[in-house]
Structure 1
Amino acid sequence: MDESGNLWKLWIGFNAMFSAGLIFIGSINLYLSARHFQFLSCRPFIGLLSIATNAFFVWVGYQYMISAFVLSMSAPLLLFVTGFILIAGKPRGSNEK
């Protein structure tokens, strides 16, 4: 920061970067699940990383933000966890596509 920065510019910059990060995470997961599901299902690290990232967002929201943000980030977290459990519990056959 320098002397030209003010609270309003910092607030806009933070929200723009944070929103871009959320959009990126959602877009990558949507693309992988729609176009490359086999790739995604064979690599649990990607799902676990998405869950950990969303859990961090929920924690940050709980600590520093408003309850509406916590609720809005808890929904994707619940969906990521549910999807991960469903994928992890699905048997992997050699003839799946």
Structure 2
Amino acid sequence: MSSIALTLAQYLVTASALVIFALGAVHLLLTFTGSSLQPRDEVLMARMHEISPKITRETSMWKAWVGFNASHSFGALLFGSVYAYLALVHGPLLFASPYLLGVGLVLLCGYAFLGKRYWFSTPYRGILLATALYVAALIASGV
């Protein structure tokens, strides 16, 4: 692979990773501030604070909801930071590893599936952009 192709591929993966990182950061912020991720129904909100899931009585549905949202954000932040780092600092290693490239692609495709099926248009479009940038990087790298 030429150095120009490698550099382009590195920047494309970095851009992809930063889109996912930004989505994760905004999601984490919204998890702990404001009411964007709260139910519109106040009765439902109250019930989520009172009811525990069947798996345990040690938490409430509300605490589980907040925890799931925060851990979901951490996953996006981890992907974004690791893949941006690998692309910028260890580009030849990243692009020589079918495993690392495959893991990144599978994760992005998984997020795209979830985004289309369960989420709303803003994260879905961001994930599609990140996936397109990542695939463009694979093409630019000759993989």
TM range (shorter): 0.7 to 0.9
Deviation digits for residues 35-60 of structure 1, max 9, x if unmatched? Answer: 11111121122112111111101101
Q: TM-score, normalised by structure 1?
A: 0.81
Percent identity (aligned): 25
Alpha-carbon distance in structure 1 between the residues aligned to 2:117 and 2:69: 17
Alpha-carbon distance in structure 2 between the residues aligned to 1:29 and 1:7: 33
Larger displacement relative to structure 2 (54-63 or 6-15): 6-15
1:5 corresponds to 2:59: yes
Deviation digits for residues 59-80 of structure 1, max 9, x if unmatched? Answer: 0111111122211211111111
Structure 1 residue runs without a partner (length 5+): 90-97
Alpha-carbon distance in structure 2 between the residues aligned to 1:82 and 1:55: 14
Q: How does 1:7-86 map to 2 (within 5 A)?
A: 7-86=61-140
RMSD: 1.5
Contact 1:51 1:80 in 2 (8 A): yes
Q: Which structure has more RCO (C-alpha within 8 Å, separation ≥ 6)? A: 2
SS of the counterpart of 2:88? helix
Q: TM-score, normalised by structure 2?
A: 0.57
* Structure ID, larger Rg: 2
SS of the counterpart of 1:29? helix
Alpha-carbon distance in structure 1 between the residues aligned to 2:132 and 2:61: 33
Aligned pairs, number: 89
